[in-house]
Amino acid sequence: MSGHDTVAGVPLRTIAKLLAPVGLGDVDDDPPTGREALETSFARVVLGTMTEPGDTDAGMLVSGLGPVAAVRCVVDELDATEVLGRLGADPSSARQRARMAEALNRWRTRGSPDAGVRALEMAAHVGARLLTPETSGWPEGLAALGAGEPLALWLRGNPARLSSLERSVSLVGARAATGYGEHVAMESAAGLGDRGFAIVSGGAYGIDGAAHRAAVTSGHVTIAFLAGGVDRLYPAGHSDLLRRVADTGLLIGELPCGSTPTRWRFLMRNRLIAAVSGATVVVEAGHRSGSLNTAGHAAEIGRPLGAVPGPVTSPASAGCHRLIREYAATCVTTVDEMAELADPLGTAVGAQGGSEPPGADGSADGGADDRAVMAAASIRGGREPDELAQVTGLSLPSVIAALGRLSLSGAVRPTATGWEATR
């Protein structure tokens, strides 16, 4: 077989078979299956095994030469001078040569065409789908990342839900959230969903989990961006929740299946959360919360940024107060204010007027509701809000409001399996 029938040494027939199970026919009624599409998709997969998220050197190489030519530069062992020449850069610059030589060595050490084959096999095994910038459904907001735009994305769930990103809000915050923070996150997620927004977050404990859980139980679309492969449901304590997110929304990651989450990857994942959404809202964050990194990405690319204030005595809200004071984040205290941040013209579907602040349920004191929820939660293992609603006969918003009040008083706490009583 001639080299013209291969990409990086892998036969086109093999590539076609590998890409078939991970195609996005649900998004595009007539997905491209020609030679160029096969070559481009496989080249992006291979490059994804060679690079870390946010590798701007790789991004500039792909932007300048295209994915196929870029991967050939790496696989064909071209030296830095020749690659710079193809890019139209100055090959006589010692600094540029050194940087390109280091990048080429890094990519060749880390990945390979064989790794690309394995990534596609693993994706097919878990039912993941491949999304590239050439594919219908690619989130337009990612273009704001420039050379740091992902080479590709991997999905678990119905790819048709990608369209929900066109009207979405990112709710992020600390893992070590307080009852107040989780209550605000749950009320905000449910309320924004009622107004036609998808909820985007990172799947972590604390604020992320509360936002995802409220969206799922309220019947709204929520999308979790993962820091590893979409086959790695992390944290393990959220594996059931993340499966529910995949069933009703989407799990998205830029790393191939099999990739392990790391601190650096979490930080770079945050740029995707900021880029795809109409606005980012930090619900609760201390001075060192990783969610401030997401806020920084949002501010850097010009996305609307909001922060929810908390008690001035609470270290858990110190990061939010700093965002408002020093980084011009908009102070948001109601669901309507969050919606306005993402959709200032007020065109959201299902919008409701006169919303109350997150955490208010319109009842006088909620005593009867609290007692009913407390009694239903008093079982070993915990119960999800939708199950509590069925057991108590209360509406889901009433249950969520009661859980917030009970959490603030320390009477209940969230666990990996749901809410349980503490006494």
For residue 422, which phi and psi values (nearest 5 degrees)?
-95, -10
Cα–Cα distance measured from residue 103 to residue 414, given in angstroms and rounded to the nearest whole number:
45
pLDDT tens for each residue of 274-286:
999 999 999 999 9
Pairing relation of β-strands 168-173 and 279-284?
parallel
Taking every pair of C-alpha atoms in the chain, what is the biggest distance, in angstroms? 77
Please, what are the averages of pLDDT over each run of 10 residues along the chain (423 residues)?
72 93 58 77 97 96 96 94 92 91 96 96 97 94 95 96 96 95 96 97 97 95 98 95 97 97 94 97 94 93 94 95 92 96 72 41 57 73 82 82 82 82 73
Whole-number pLDDT of residue 131: 97
Phi, psi values for residue 165, rounded to 5°: -65, -20
Q: What is the pLDDT of residue 364?
A: 37
Q: In 111-206, which ranges are continuous DSSP H helix?
A: 113-126, 179-194
∠ at Cα 206 (205, 209), nearest 5°?
Answer: 65
Q: Which pLDDT does position 423 carry in this prediction?
A: 63
Q: In 3-state terms, what secondary structure has residue 352?
A: coil
> Are the CB atoms for 171 and 188 separated by under 8 Å?
yes
DSSP label of 383: B
Domains and CATH numbers, the chain: 3-124 (no CATH), 155-342 (3.40.50.450), 367-421 (1.10.10.10)
Residue closest to 395 by CA, chosen among 190, 182, 178, 189: 190
Name 240's Cβ contacts closer than 8 Å, sequence gap at least 6: 416, 417
pLDDT at residue 397, as a whole number = 81
pTM above 0.85, yes or no: no
pLDDT confidence of residue 44: 98
φ and ψ of 375, to 5 deg? -65, -40
- Asked if 58 and 51 touch (Cβ cutoff 8 Å), the reply is yes
Dist CA 230 CA 246 (whole Å): 10
